[in-house]
Every structure is written in structure tokens, then in C-alpha cells.
């Protein structure tokens, strides 16, 4: 894919671009405005789940019209393409969240195992409220019921990369979300 005036060449390892850079930009702004409206007058504590969230959270917070705190966690639940169901905290928050309105910012919710584990773990730290904002959601892959307050895009059961999402640590820098070719996996 090559658009005149805009450099938008699809990476050779992808079979299609599922969500373009423009679509992401528009939706991220909408989510930021929705969150700003819902949390008007409040301070919100955003928890970015590394590494996948790094582009999403940085774009999201730029458009917020509320006071924010931002911290990060790193957890590991995937080995290559498969969810192991075993979640490990590799990097924890630097600040306490008791009594705070918390929004967890994820790149993608697939089986739901990771976000379910993380939400439960963080609830034991007694936040005032806790919600989830995910850029992508694969509803057909769910293994456990999870409550997602803010969803950027529902997508089909395809392995996607780009805009923070990786396969074996590659493709995170792509400005769009694309489907990886079967032969690459």
C-alpha cells in the first residue's frame, strides 16, 4: 500500500493493514475525550502495561483534559504467539494507588487472562475505582469474562502487530496495526 503524499508502505511481513494510522489517531482522540468527560474534575492514575501500550498511552494522554498521574507495569504472559495463562510481574508501580481512580491502559485484550489477573492483583491495593482502556479487543478469543470500559477497536481472531504490538519483539514501531503473514509465525 503506497499513498501519494503520505508514506504508508505496508511491511513485507504483513498480509493486510487492519487499522490505519489515521483511524488510530481519530479513535485515540475520541477515547481521550470520553475519558476526560467521564472523569471531569478528578485526578486519574493511568497504569500503562508495558511494552505493548507505549505508543497508545503516549498518544492517549496528550489529548486528555484532566489531571493525570502516569505509571507503568511490565508483565509477561506470552511466549511468542501463545498466551501461557501464567502472568508474572516483571516491573511494578513506583507509586501507591490506594484511594485513587485508576485506569489500566492495555494494547490488546485477547483471552482476557492477563487483564483479569492484573485487575484482581491491583484491587488488593485498594484503589477507589479501577477500569480498563484497551486499544484492541478480540472478543471471540475470550477465556474469561472481563469488563472493558474503553475499547478502541474490536478486531477478529488474527495475530496483529504494530503501534506497540510485537511478535518476538519486532514490529512495535509500525504506525498502523497489521496482520502478520502465516509463514512469518
Give the total of residues touching ligand IMP (CB under 6 A). 18
Residue 165 in the binding site for ligand IMP (CB under 6 A): yes
Residue 108 in the binding site for ligand IMP (CB under 6 A): yes
Residue 107 in the binding site for ligand IMP (CB under 6 A): yes
Q: Which of 110, 117, 169, 172 is nearest to 141 (CA)?
A: 110
In whole angstroms, the minimum distance from the beta carbon of 95 to ligand IMP comes to 22
Q: Which of 36, 71, 78, 119 binds ligand IMP (CB under 6 A)?
A: 78
Residue 52 in the binding site for ligand IMP (CB under 6 A): yes
Q: Which of 18, 101, 112, 178 binds ligand IMP (CB under 6 A)?
A: 112
Q: For residue 44, count other CB atoms closer than 10 A to its CB.
A: 21
Residue 106 in the binding site for ligand IMP (CB under 6 A): yes
Classify residue 162 as left (phi > 0), alpha (psi -120 to 50) or beta: left
Residue 48 in the binding site for ligand IMP (CB under 6 A): no
Q: Which of 43, 26, 61 is nearest to 133 (CA)?
A: 61
**In degrees rounded to 5, what are phi and psi of residue 124?**
-70, -15
Q: Which of 181, 184, 138, 169 is nearest to 16 (CA)?
A: 181
Q: Is 59 labeled as catalytic in the residue annotation?
A: no
Catalytic residue among 59, 101, 107, 110: 110
In whole angstroms, the minimum distance from the beta carbon of 77 to ligand IMP comes to 5
The three grid cell numbers given for residue 74, joined into one nine-digit string: 511490565
Residues contacting residue 50 through CB under 8 Å, at least 6 positions apart = 72, 73, 74, 91
* Rg of the chain in Å (alpha carbons): 16
Residue 111 in the binding site for ligand IMP (CB under 6 A): yes
Please identify every residue annotated as catalytic: 110
**Which residues contribute to the site for ligand IMP (CB under 6 A)?**
52, 77-78, 83, 106-115, 159-161, 165
Amino acid at each position: 500500500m503506497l499513498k501519494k503524499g503520505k508514506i504508508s508502505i505496508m511491511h513485507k511481513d504483513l498480509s493486510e493493514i487492519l487499522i490505519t494510522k489515521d483511524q488510530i489517531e481519530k479513535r485515540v482522540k475520541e477515547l481521550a475525550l470520553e475519558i476526560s468527560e467521564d472523569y471531569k474534575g478528578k485526578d486519574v492514575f493511568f497504569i500503562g502495561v508495558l511494552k505493548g501500550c507505549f505508543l497508545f498511552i503516549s498518544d492517549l494522554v496528550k489529548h486528555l483534559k484532566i489531571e493525570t498521574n502516569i505509571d507503568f507495569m511490565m508483565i509477561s504472559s506470552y511466549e511468542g504467539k501463545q498466551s501461557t495463562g501464567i502472568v508474572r510481574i516483571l516491573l511494578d508501580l513506583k507509586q501507591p494507588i490506594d484511594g485513587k481512580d485508576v485506569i489500566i491502559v492495555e494494547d490488546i485484550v485477547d483471552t482476557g487472562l492477563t487483564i483479569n489477573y492484573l485487575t484482581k492483583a491491583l484491587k488488593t491495593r485498594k484503589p477507589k475505582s479501577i477500569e480498563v482502556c484497551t486499544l484492541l479487543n478480540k472478543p471471540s478469543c475470550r477465556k474469561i469474562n472481563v469488563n472493558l470500559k474503553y475499547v478502541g477497536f474490536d478486531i477478529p481472531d488474527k495475530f496483529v502487530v504494530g503501534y506497540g504490538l510485537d511478535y518476538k519483539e519486532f514490529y512495535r514501531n509500525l504506525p498502523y496495526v497489521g496482520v502478520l503473514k502465516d509463514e512469518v509465525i
